[in-house]
């Protein structure tokens, strides 16, 4: 059951391409931002590293300010490949020695899919947060989820990730996290 269990000391949060020119064309862009921010704040409380990728920022803009403000202590990796598994990002990830990657971002069937495929191929366990990813169309979103599920990613949601990382109630961390998801 370890493949379905998150532990704060073995987890990394990866937010893929939540950028200025992508968000406006995404029907569920605000939901992705909101849920990614919940996860970023929880990661900050638990000392979980946060990585952000940006696809061709000269053309698609930078990460939206709402994400950047919540993620003051992150590593940002620019890319021109659809996969976020660039040499720079995978080297940084490898240095952490953590094997479970929580994934959010845009678009589910392109950059998220190709990054998840790369992570799984490199031996990482991937927890894809389905309410924190999106595509321009519902069909592409569903197809991306199905592909990643078939490849072995754990398809999960924001609250499941938060409560799995917390492990217990009646703590200050629990009360802080509860305020984020209400």
Of 79, 100, 131, 134, catalytic? 79
Q: Could you give the CA distance from residue 78 to residue 178 in angstroms, rounded to a whole number? A: 33
Of 85, 100, 111, 134, the active-site residue reads: 111
Tokens standing for 38? Answer: 């919940």
Task: Answer yes or no: 134 catalytic.
Answer: no
The distance from CA 156 to its chain's CA centroid, rounded to whole angstroms, is 11
Residue 79 a catalytic site member:
yes
- Among the listed residues 119, 152, 128, the one whose alpha carbon sits nearest the alpha carbon of residue 36: 128
| Active site annotation includes 111 | yes
Instruction: Please list, in sequence order, all residues whose beta carbon lies within 8 angstroms of the beta carbon of residue 161, skipping any fewer than 6 positions away.
Output: 6, 39, 42, 102, 127, 129
Q: What is the DSSP string of 53-114?
A: EEE-HHHH-SB-HHHHHH-SS-EEEEESSSSS--HHHHHHHHHHT--EEEEEEE-IIIIIHH
What is the dihedral angle through the alpha carbons of 42, 127, 155, 28, rounded to the nearest 10 degrees? 50
Q: Among 17, 100, 131, 134, which one carries the catalytic annotation?
A: 17
Active site residues: 17, 79, 111
């Amino acid at each position: 059951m370890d493949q379905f269990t998150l532990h704060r000391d073995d987890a990394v949060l990866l937010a893929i391409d939540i950028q200025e020119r992508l968000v406006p064309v995404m029907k569920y862009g605000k939901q992705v931002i909101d849920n990614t921010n919940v996860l970023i704040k929880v990661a900050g409380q638990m000392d979980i590293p946060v990585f952000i990728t940006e696809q061709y920022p000269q053309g698609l803009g930078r990460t939206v300010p709402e994400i950047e403000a919540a993620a003051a202590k992150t590593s940002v990796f620019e890319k021109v490949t659809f996969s976020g598994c660039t040499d720079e990002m995978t080297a940084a990830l490898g240095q952490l020695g953590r094997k479970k990657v929580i994934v959010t971002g845009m678009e589910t069937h392109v950059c998220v899919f190709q990054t998840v495929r790369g992570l799984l191929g490199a031996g990482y366990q991937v927890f894809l947060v389905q309410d924190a990813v999106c595509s321009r169309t519902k069909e592409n979103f569903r197809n991306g989820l199905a592909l990643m599920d078939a490849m072995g990613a754990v398809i999960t949601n924001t609250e499941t990730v938060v409560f799995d990382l917390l492990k217990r109630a009646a703590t200050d961390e629990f009360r802080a996290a509860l305020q984020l998801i209400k």
